Amino acid sequence: MLQARSEDVRRQGGDPFSEIQLPKAVIALKQGVGRLIRDVTDQGVMVICDDRLVNRPYGQVFLKSLPDMRRSRNIEKASHFLAELQPNKLETEIE
């Protein structure tokens, strides 16, 4: 089915990647993140280990589709963030 759609887009002078595959991949990522983030109070670190998000022009399409969140490529910052979460979580569980 994908091959037939791609061929149709090509015949019409379009680009199957940007018109079919990219939108589908963006939706899949957005839905996956939506399953992880259920509430505005949810906290954690989401790691996406695909450098195409920052090295390819189409990566911005993916990043813009995600909810507002701090971003970093620095592992130490992510580790520090997680370490700061742990004490707060334990206090909540004890109460």
Other C-beta atoms closer than 10 Å to the C-beta of 4 total 8
* pLDDT in the model for residue 87: 64
Residue 90, pLDDT above cutoff 50? no
Highest mean pLDDT, choosing among 34-43, 60-69, 78-87: 60-69
Predicted confidence (pLDDT) per residue in 5-37, tens digit: 999 999 999 999 999 999 999 999 999 998 888
* Structural domain boundaries, residue 81: 2-94
What average pLDDT does the structure give for the chain? 87
Number of domain units in the chain: 1
* pLDDT in the model for residue 14: 93
Whole-model pTM: value is 0.74
Helices (H), 12-69: 16, 22-36, 52-55, 59-65
Tell me the CB-side half-sphere exposure of residue 57, using CA atoms within 13 A.
Answer: 2
The pLDDT of 39-66, averaged and rounded, is: 91
